[in-house]
């Protein structure tokens, strides 16, 4: 379909909460395909509609081991495991920088598919991390908000320097 421009940090739209999707139509399917194409081009393993400036609750995730992308409409985490894991994260909206984030090792996610059918699944490891990362983004929580102020400030300085070098 189409690769759309990615909203870059510190764009204020990355801090806005996305609205629920109520229409399950061709426009939604096109948006999901555009997200998939944009995620692959970025490159990334997860993306939200918010990353392209569309404040709707839509997520696409495709891990290296997945044959095809997973599309999650109106996802919400309904359970978190008490066990925690650390994983290096980054964002298509802040390319070139990563840091280690602590997340729940396992989550249960309730969501709808592109036809509006409800589903619930348990995810662990990297998929659990992706769900938490992307649902945070839908809630206006950018991934660096999970870092300490010191780490966040260092990461922003590094990103700013990378942006100046690319300009």
Residues acting as catalytic residues: 134
Instruction: Look at residues 166, 162, 78, 55 and name the one whose alpha carbon lies nearest to residue 128.
Output: 78
Element (H, E) at 31: helix 26-41
Check: CB of residue 105 under 8 Å from CB of residue 130: no
Q: How far apart are CA 143 and CA 90, in angstroms?
A: 7
- Length, in residues, of the chain: 167
């Amino acid at each position: 379909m189409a690769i759309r421009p990615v909203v870059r940090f510190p764009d204020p739209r990355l801090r806005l909460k996305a609205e629920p999707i109520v229409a399950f139509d061709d426009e939604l399917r096109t948006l999901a395909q555009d997200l998939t194409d944009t995620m692959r081009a970025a490159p990334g393993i997860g993306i939200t509609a918010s990353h392209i400036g569309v404040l709707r609750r839509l997520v696409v995730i495709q891990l290296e081991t997945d044959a095809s992308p997973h599309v999650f409409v109106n996802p919400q985490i309904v359970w978190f495991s008490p066990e925690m894991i650390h994983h290096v994260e980054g964002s298509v909206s802040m390319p070139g920088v990563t840091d280690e984030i602590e997340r729940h090792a396992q989550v249960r996610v309730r969501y709808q598919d592109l036809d509006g059918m409800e589903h619930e699944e348990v995810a662990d490891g990297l998929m659990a991390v992706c769900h938490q990362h992307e649902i945070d983004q839908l809630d206006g929580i950018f991934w660096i908000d999970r870092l300490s102020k010191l780490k966040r400030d260092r990461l922003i300085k590094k990103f700013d320097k990378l942006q100046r070098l690319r300009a």
